[in-house]
């Protein structure tokens, strides 16, 4: 039995609506995760800068002790 054209059209519309809803949901999730990643990368960069500063301080102290 072949479904009437109206039924097919209605099913297609429902499917499109569900896909649109899913896309919106996943898009929101991806945005949240990207924001979290940006925050983590900022913290990593801050830690690297701090570590460079510590290394320079230790290097300067070592030079002062040796000279």
Can you give the pLDDT at residue 12? 94
Q: Mean pLDDT throughout 15-41?
A: 95
Residue 3 has pLDDT above 80, yes or no: no
What phi and psi values does residue 3 have, to the nearest 5 degrees?
-70, 140
Distance CA 41, CA 43 (A): 5
Predicted local confidence at residue 67, as pLDDT: 73
Classify the phi-psi angles of 3: left when phi > 0, otherwise alpha if psi is within -120 to 50, otherwise beta. Answer: beta
Please give the mean pLDDT across all residues of the chain.
93
DSSP 2: P
Whether 52 has a pLDDT exceeding 90, the answer reads: yes
| Spans of all domains in the chain | 1-66
CA–CA distance, 66 with 59 (Å, rounded to integer): 11
Gyration radius of the chain over CA positions: 29
What's the predicted TM-score (pTM) here?
0.61
């Amino acid at each position: 039995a072949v479904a009437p054209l109206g039924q097919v059209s209605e099913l297609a519309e429902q499917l499109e609506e569900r896909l649109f809803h899913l896309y919106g949901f996943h898009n929101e999730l991806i945005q949240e995760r990207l924001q979290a990643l940006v925050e983590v990368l900022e913290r990593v960069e801050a830690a690297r800068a701090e570590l460079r500063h510590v290394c320079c301080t230790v290097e300067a102290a070592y030079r002062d002790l040796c000279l």
